[in-house]
Structure 1
Amino acid sequence: MTKSTKKTKSTKTKKASRGTTSKVRRKKVFKSYTKAIKYLFERTDYEKQRRLRYNVSTFDLTRMEKLLAGVDNPHLKTDVVHIAGTKGKGSTATMLAKMLEANEYKVGLYTSPHVTTLHERIVVNSKMIADKEIIGLLNRLHATIEKLADEDDAPTFFEIMTTMAFMYFADKEADIAIVETGLGGRLDSTNVVQPLLVGITNISIDHQNLLGNSLPEIAAEKAGIIKEGVPVVTVPQHADAMRVIKKRALECGSPLLVTGTDVDFSSRFESSREHGPHTRICLTTPNSRFEHLRVPLPGQHQAVNCGLALAMLDALKSKIEIDDSKAVKGLAEVSMAGRMEIICDDPRIIVDTAHNAASIRALIHAIGQHVPYDSMIIIFACNQDKDVRGMLNQLQFGADKVIFTRSNSPKAVFPQDLADMYTEICGKMCQTAMTLREAVRIAKSAVSREDLICITGSFYLVGQAKDQLQIRTLAS
């Protein structure tokens, strides 16, 4: 079978209409990356706002649809796999993208937020978007952005980023794009797509002030990406969340598969001389047989995400041709910044973007499995819109010492407020530092060579840690 015949029928049709807007000559508003990025960051950014209203006009998808229409609806020109969930979206999306890329497809990947650079969010075949490409996309988008602003309906930062991603994938003639939701799902800017397949990762409590105070409410927002007749693959969920997902899938007439229930899935933890501590998984369907695959990312939670990525790959076999051996090679190449990443060896410092209670619990368990240490100091910061008490409650089960600090996010909780809540929850002593640098200095003064410093709680904090500590380590 030739490469051209491997594409879906919808992909072939879309390719014929690509590139029409990209060839239109437009006035260059931005000639430098600095000016372009300044313009972008001046747009309303709900990722940084302390308070916002989610279920009203703030998140109406009509504005997103207008923005896309202004550049010839690029989201309709690439086949899409859409992924929602509370934790594991980025890991699942990345693993699936690498397996498809290894099958010689041109694969777009859109994830958020980023760890150190905005460019991480928009990727084609593992290569991040370049400065000049961002400039070009913003020049093409500028007129539509300003037109909507004149109508008192200015697009947000995330809406613009999402539109740029769709434009970029169309420009690059991507065969398929793996798109992660930003917030929730039902009203998320990415939910304008008509996907080939939907994936839903683990759902837990997060963003209660926006998505709801109960698991069923949050699950309803996540399940909002399920479209009529589009297959859905998910992982084992809390019963309250699973009921919502099943109800939505039934209403949409969407086939639903659950790993471990409808898809034969198992995992085991082991250690070897070659790979050290790691998890292996098996997944079997009528069309696929993956046996004893090593999960490329550490932690049992990543085994669940890897199983979901494999089950989604299997589901795509009805649409496109997949070679399992190539997929396995692609999976082995996966690595991700900010996921149990060691950024310094002396002292040992590990960073992880865990930003809800379930993720903190999974992180502590994974560190216990994969990283030997005598004692662990956790440097922690988080944002106000998180399940703060839930996260603090989990910290006590893994930290020998906690230092609370704050990231550079406008929504960051003050360190003393975190300390007061932590002491109230568990009665343990802790320390505070107003900056990450100060927190690291305190931690370094208290550790020996066999100890571990873990920096976690938010993408913002991990990004700062990589910027501050990796550079200094390399310089020394």
Structure 2
Amino acid sequence: MDTETAYQEALTYLYSFVDYSMTRALQFSPEKFDLSRMERLLERLGNPQQRYPIVHVAGTKGKGSTAAMIASVLTAAGYRVGFYTSPHLQDFSERMQLDGRLISHRQLADLVAEMKPVAAEIPQLTTFELTTAAAFLFFARQGATAAVIEVGLGGRLDATNVVSPLVSVITSISYDHMNLLGSTLGQIAAEKAGIIKPGRPVVSAPQKMEALEVIEHTAESRQSALTVVGRDVLFADWTHQMDGQTFLVWRAEEQETVNRWIDAGGDGPHGPVQLRTPLLGYHQVENAATAYAALLSVREAGLPVEDAAIQRGFAEVFWPGRFEVLRQEPPVVVDSAHNRDSALRLRLAIEDYLPGRPVVLLFGASEDKDLEGMFAELLPRVRQVVVTESFHPRAAKAEDLAALVRRFGRPVEIVRPARTALQRAMTLAGSSAAVVVAGSLFISAEARDAWQALGLPLRRFATWDEMDDESPLR
């Protein structure tokens, strides 16, 4: 069987199981999210997740970016790094990366074929459980010496929460998936804090007090040393351009030294650490500071990471669809903001990077999101809107989105499909306005596909099957 046929058959098999990401409404319950299934599956596969140290990353916003930065630094440090993330942007293989390259379609097809007899012995497995197990197995087979594992949903009952991490990381917590995780920040934080393991260090991004109190209590009850960014590790943005930004980061106990550096006009040898990242927006500075704090904990836990690797890893990270500038002039930006908090962060990024520039917003979202909240943040900064729908079964109807946009007093057009919608938004923007794509990961993915279909330059992930015959991939 040729590779692409085998790959498509593997995806069909995986999606034949229950896939809660495609479900319009469900209840977050132990009956559905039962870690014992995952534990039995991994035991039959030889517990591959126990063969390499792991950094485990949960959170509402920024967990993918933070995890990508940590993985990039560990790769720069010379480790063979597995990176598991979800959902994917354009290719399912993005979920399983090794040293910054995607698993090949052939490797994924072979792994799934190998797992089928084992999966047949365990009732009620889900798509995400099987995919997670395949990633763990892939990393072990390829001799990973470290792995960064992003939580899919929540934390406490997520299929990834069978790992015993070197360090746990919790990024910014906000309101999302409230039908699953709870209606208050405290309830949501309790689910995220479920990844904290007894005696293992945990790093938290800056949090609202209600969420931080839950994380602090959980860490204390499990005797886990807690580092809080914004309290124990401090940061500040420094410079920003359309191709990247620099930021400063330092430990709280270094504050007096940093004060003298600031008073000296930012000059001298003893200032804070200065790092650069191509990921844009102040929120990415917060994510980067969280990644940096996690890497300090990784060091302290016994995994050496040199300063030069930290510099290089942050500078080389690639994480598309997050305020990604496809073109600088006239600007076309693709973002994946999909709740009110991320929409606010997107608006602030627009102010920083596109000051005074008119904006045409291309928007599509899932129907279960806070659509009114996202529009309340974005539309005051937008000249006009093009609404569309993604392929996803939970996609909000474009007519419903348009009706909501009109309530905010903005002109709106309905254009399907997303490829045509991007072209229309670019036409409306002309040479004076910027196009900003937002609302969901699915819309940003389709916009990137549309951009590539227009024959315009687009950076994509490299894959292992693009390597020569001496590739270490087995």
Q: Normalized against structure 1, the TM-score is what?
A: 0.87
Distance across 1 between alignment mates of 2:393 and 2:334: 21
Q: 1:133 is matched with which residue? A: 107
Mapped contact 1:361–1:394 kept (Cα < 8 A) = yes
- Say if 2:367 is the partner of 1:384: yes
Task: Give the secondary-structure state (helix, strand or coil) at the position aligned to 2:20.
Answer: coil
Task: Give the secondary-structure state (helix, strand or coil) at the position aligned to 1:316.
Answer: helix
Distance across 2 between alignment mates of 1:221 and 1:256: 17
Following superposition, the deviation at residue 31 of structure 1 comes to: 8.2
Mapped contact 2:275–2:314 kept (Cα < 8 A) = no
Mapped contact 2:422–2:450 kept (Cα < 8 A) = no
Following superposition, the deviation at residue 260 of structure 1 comes to: 2.0
1:141-156 alignment runs, 5 A limit: 141-148=115-122, 153-156=123-126
Following superposition, the deviation at residue 373 of structure 1 comes to: 6.2
Distance across 1 between alignment mates of 2:247 and 2:422: 34
Q: 1:81 is matched with which residue? A: 55
Report the count of equivalent residues. 439
Q: Which moved more, 1:391-400 or 1:167-176?
A: 391-400
In structure 2, give the amino acid aligned to 1:73.
N
1:36-51 alignment runs, 5 A limit: 36-51=10-25
Distance across 1 between alignment mates of 2:52 and 2:112: 20
Task: Give the secondary-structure state (helix, strand or coil) at the position aligned to 1:190.
Answer: coil
Mapped contact 2:70–2:291 kept (Cα < 8 A) = yes
Following superposition, the deviation at residue 444 of structure 1 comes to: 3.1
In structure 2, give the amino acid aligned to 1:411.
R
Distance across 2 between alignment mates of 1:67 and 1:157: 13
1:7-22 alignment runs, 5 A limit: none
In structure 2, give the amino acid aligned to 1:324.
D
Q: Which moved more, 1:326-335 or 1:280-289?
A: 280-289
Q: In the alignment, which of 70, 73, 76 is matched to residue 99 of structure 1?
A: 73
Q: In the alignment, which of 335, 341, 344 is matched to residue 352 of structure 1?
A: 335
Distance across 1 between alignment mates of 2:415 and 2:274: 45
Structure 2: tracts of 5 or more residues without a match: 255-269, 459-474
Q: Percent identity?
A: 37
CA RMSD in angstroms comes to 2.3
Q: 2:98 is matched with which residue? A: 124
Following superposition, the deviation at residue 317 of structure 1 comes to: 1.2
Q: Which moved more, 1:366-375 or 1:191-200?
A: 366-375
Following superposition, the deviation at residue 347 of structure 1 comes to: 5.6
Following superposition, the deviation at residue 180 of structure 1 comes to: 0.5
Q: 2:257 is matched with which residue? A: none
Deviation per residue, 1:189-214 (Å, 9 max, x gap): 10011111100100000011111111
Q: 1:205 is matched with which residue? A: 175
Deviation per residue, 1:13-53 (Å, 9 max, x gap): xxxxxxxxxxxxxxxxx982232222122222111111222
Q: 2:437 is matched with which residue? A: 455
In structure 2, give the amino acid aligned to 1:41.
Y
Q: 1:27 is matched with which residue? A: none
In structure 2, give the amino acid aligned to 1:225.
I
Q: 1:270 is matched with which residue? A: 239
Distance across 2 between alignment mates of 1:370 and 1:347: 13
In structure 2, give the amino acid aligned to 1:234.
S
Q: In the alignment, which of 94, 113, 131 is matched to residue 161 of structure 1?
A: 131
Closer/same/farther in 2, CA of residues 211 and 126 from structure 1, 3 Å limit: same
Structure 1: tracts of 5 or more residues without a match: 1-29
Q: Which moved more, 1:465-474 or 1:219-228?
A: 465-474
Deviation per residue, 1:329-367 (Å, 9 max, x gap): 122111211112233567642111111111111112112
Distance across 2 between alignment mates of 1:37 and 1:276: 35
Following superposition, the deviation at residue 250 of structure 1 comes to: 1.3
Task: Give the secondary-structure state (helix, strand or coil) at the position aligned to 1:189.
Answer: coil
Task: Give the secondary-structure state (helix, strand or coil) at the position aligned to 2:380.
Answer: coil
Mapped contact 2:387–2:398 kept (Cα < 8 A) = yes
Task: Give the secondary-structure state (helix, strand or coil) at the position aligned to 1:112.
Answer: coil
- Say if 2:281 is the partner of 1:304: no
Distance across 2 between alignment mates of 1:439 and 1:350: 14
Q: 2:161 is matched with which residue? A: 191
In structure 2, give the amino acid aligned to 1:54.
F
